[in-house]
C-alpha cells in the first residue's frame, strides 16, 4: 500500500514571474508594478488608503510590471 502525504508535506507550486509590459514613452527608468500605479492614482484622487489597499497593491505588483 502507498502512504498518502498530508497536505502539509506537499510542496506549493512556485509563483510564476510577473507579466512585463513595455511602455516606450514611460518617463521612469525602473520597473513599476501595477499595484503602485493604482496606488498613485487613487492617492492623487484623494482616496485614503486602507489595509486592504496594501494587500491589493502587493498582489497586483506580483501580477504585472511596467518597464521602459
Cell digits of residue 62: 506580483
**pLDDT of 32:** 84
pTM flag (> 0.75): no
Contact 31, 67 (CB under 8 A): yes
Q: What is the per-residue pLDDT across 7-49, written as a single tens digit (0 to 9) for each?
A: 555 677 788 888 777 776 666 677 888 898 899 899 999 998 8
Delimit the domains of the chain by residue range. Answer: 19-67
- Asked if 12 contacts 57 with a C-beta cutoff of 8 angstroms, the reply is no
Amino acid at each position: 500500500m502507498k502512504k498518502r502525504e498530508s497536505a502539509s508535506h506537499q510542496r506549493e507550486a512556485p509563483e510564476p514571474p510577473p507579466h512585463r509590459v513595455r511602455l516606450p514613452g514611460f518617463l521612469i527608468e525602473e520597473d513599476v508594478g501595477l499595484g503602485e500605479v493604482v496606488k498613485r492614482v487613487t492617492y492623487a484622487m484623494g482616496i485614503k488608503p486602507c489595509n486592504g489597499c496594501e494587500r491589493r497593491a502587493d498582489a497586483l505588483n506580483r501580477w504585472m510590471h511596467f518597464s521602459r
